A and B are shown apart, each in its own frame.
Chain A
């Protein structure tokens, strides 16, 4: 599934104050690409990810998935679209605390038409031994892996990640990134990953540099680095 953004703007109105978070952004993302979005705080990275993924509406411009213009979709249509095609991972893990690990992942599997096997995914993210544990019994890294497992088990065509390793230590972060890399290789899942860390950017096919609501530069990595190879500091 390819994505095309045309003149996408996003303006937040907060009382008197107007914030232009995106200014006429044009971008296209190919099927199976690994995209990294880089930029200083407040530059509009999250906003970009939110509007691409339909979590937020655009102020102007269009967003097309193949030939579907999702920027005109109603809330119900968007929900249906997300349900079928998209996965999300956030800096905060957003797990359901009244369910155990396995059931949290199943919550993702249950809404998919062609889910992957829950056990297989849990093994892939290294949680096969923790299936019955409750969320409060897990470390931050383990929680993030549950969150990843939940997103990928529904077998999304595109996975959006907003600073997935933002609150993790180096080693755990590397593990998580490896999983993303593997998914991209194995299932050809399109990846859109936001990060602050320029080193992580080396993992992407392309790096989109944001600044004050504009795409400042798009860098094409001739040779992607593996998660294990990147220099952390």
Chain B
């Protein structure tokens, strides 16, 4: 008999239960889909990195020869006076280059004998497919560290064979044995490869990752040497014993600058702090933690709402329960039907969430694979994920509900049979009453009635805060890419940026459409390598702007201007002096301004000053590139950057990021909407009699809706306002974490218009929730007030 009664009670609340079910579904779905997606990457990835000997650290070198090396080469009988860059040495004399590299290797291993290193040689090329510019990073096959993994096919053995990444092949409809034409040479694709040091294929300093238009590539060694591209080198290193981050920092990172023999090293970075190879650890470990936290937040909201609902239902049944108790039923006998009902209600939603999560996990995994280059296995059902996403929440639901039911059941039968005493007001509602002391009674009612039910009020507030944070994050992240890339390019007036081949320097004819610059990428400031860029203080093609949009180019007459990126890391104020090291000499430079540029650590100075610094003489005339508004003659330049191509490239990434952000916003909005709706319905239920009474007294629809529903608005706004400092705090932490951990500049700024849109969204969510709840208020009949039993 009670069973039927319980079912009927739940049936009456089907709409509410359905809404709560959606929240339950979300919590199990998010956990399941993220866990499966990440697990299907984690295992094979970690195996791959281990078995293919991923570097423990790597170091980069300045692109020039040390004095000692110049001397060595001269002693060997070579004339190296004209050879300025390391990369030039390799083109001029391959053997000498490897001799120098061998010397460097020996010096390093001599000084740090717990470690061994191997030279990594890389060539960046660009080529055109279907009128689109594609990029390739050709990595020379290694023997000891960062071994190439062949996913499919084999390594190239012939001159005209090539291996590429699978994602690039898929995105461009290429398969094994197809031809890939690079600068008029046809290469036959013989395999798909991965490299342990390039799981995150970041090429260059900005965030342009577009695996549809860029690929890592493998050629055989002779083909590698033959192909034309801009070459760079670094050393990859492994520890002979178990690698220890702390020991390495103490033994190597803190020491190498003091060793004269190792002056060729510009920076040493461990894998953990290296974006291209280390960020995957954070992504995989962090992704799993995040899925757990997100689903726990959502699940706890669901669990609390279910407890409230059970409390409400059992209380409505207090009279009958009292009778049953009086008849001699035990607590257990009375509680069990409720618990069974909870299992029947909750498990389908959990199960649907789990199944949806399991089947959509491959899609989420593929989203990771758009950005990361990782080996993949199929998503396989796992018992532990099943248990965590279904049994644990179910058990928590049952335990909490049981506690709630027991609390009511332990009252004496007589007490249960009596109508409930009026509840004492909460502290907060008393406080609100005090604050509103001179206001109309109506106003007091409006702002205090929700405070009577503190648990509901807190969930309400937390949900609003939680979803506001998510919404604010999503909105303000939509223009991170703009800040990183577009803003810079849209402010400067040049269209082409050419780096001069120094043999051709005499052929460059300057005119009104060209402006020379001097770039020196090997400056050192504290722990970081900085680019010094010399431009004219009256530059027209590369003006500098501060945060407020003022043109500060002319500041260069009195000092230097640093990028906001450098400021984010080191907090340098205008007026401060910074010590910048250029080829072992320290220059003390006065910072006059900060330009709003986030792409890299850069110091702008007067080109004449930089010329003097770089040549260590009075020579003011040096330059190594030009900014231009007209097309440049390709023969005279090492490479030419086209502003438009850079912006186009960035667009694909931006689209991808925005897509993720839309999903984030939609989920946040729907959770907020559902919770507002559920709580409004519950509160309206609690205030059934008050509403009915107000109607009897003669308050009209509008006044009642205004009193009952709109009272939330102010608390929604309070929740929203509270979320703003929290979001700023989270952003600040993230920025700091990325910049100090990875030297990754990721400007997360909340702007006024973000707050405006967030606010509008909040209000819209609020009114949609309220709109849906209105029906329920209008349904409450006048006669409710006459019923004898009331809550």
Contact = CB atoms under 8 A, between A and B. Distances in A.
B91 interface: no
Contacts of A83: 697-700
A155 interface: no
A100 B444 CA distance: 10
A50 B782 CA distance: 9
Contacts of A55: 696, 782-783, 786
B788 A94 contact: no
Interface stretch (B36-44, B422-430, B551-559): B422-430
Contacts of B785: 90, 92, 94
B396 to A, nearest CB: 32
Interface string A53-90: 00110000000000000000000100110111010101
B441 A97 contact: no
Given A98-B425, A103-B445, A135-B422, A50 B786 contact: yes
A80 B703 CA distance: 12
B442 A79 contact: no
Contacts of B449: 96, 98
A99 interface: yes
Interface residues of B, number: 36
A135 to B, nearest CB: 5
Interface in B429-477: 429-430, 433, 440-442, 444-445, 448-449, 451-452
A110 interface: yes
A106 B437 CA distance: 13
Contacts of A98: 425, 429, 433, 444-445, 448-449, 451-452
Contacts of A86: 698
Given A90-B785, A106-B441, A162-B786, A97 B698 contact: no
B790 interface: yes
A16 B486 CA distance: 72
B135 to A, nearest CB: 66
A88 B786 CA distance: 11
A94 to B, nearest CB: 5
Given A92-B790, A98-B448, A106 B440 contact: yes
Contacts of A109: 441
A97 B699 CA distance: 18
Contacts of B703: 111
Interface string B396-433: 00000000000000000000000101111100011001
B697 A136 contact: no
A97 B696 contact: no
Contacts of A103: 433, 441, 444-445
Contacts of B441: 99, 102-104, 106-107, 109-110
Given A99-B444, A99-B445, A106-B440, A136 B451 contact: no
B698 A84 contact: yes
Nearest to A104: B441
B421 A96 contact: no
Contacts of A80: 698, 700
A55 B421 CA distance: 26
Contact of B701 (A76, A97, A136): A76
A46 interface: yes
A80 B230 CA distance: 84
Interface in B771-791: 782-783, 785-786, 788, 790
B696 A82 contact: yes
A63 B448 CA distance: 39
A108 B697 contact: yes
A96 B693 contact: yes
A115 B425 CA distance: 28
Given A98-B448, A98-B452, A90 B786 contact: yes
25 contacts: A46-B786, A50-B783, A55-B786, A79-B700, A80-B700, A82-B697, A88-B696, A90-B786, A92-B419, A92-B785, A92-B790, A94-B790, A95-B422, A98-B433, A98-B451, A99-B444, A99-B445, A106-B441, A107-B442, A107-B697, A109-B441, A110-B442, A134-B424, A136-B421, A136-B425
Given A97-B423, A103-B444, 15 more contacts: A79-B701, A82-B696, A82-B697, A83-B700, A86-B698, A94-B785, A97-B422, A98-B448, A103-B445, A104-B441, A107-B694, A107-B697, A111-B697, A134-B425, A136-B422
Interface of B: 419, 421-425, 429-430, 433, 440-442, 444-445, 448-449, 451-452, 689-690, 693-701, 703, 782-783, 785-786, 788, 790
Interface of A: 46, 50, 55-56, 76, 79-80, 82-84, 86, 88, 90-92, 94-100, 102-104, 106-111, 134-136, 150, 154, 162
CB-based closest 5 A-B pairs: A83-B698, A106-B441, A103-B441, A136-B422, A98-B448
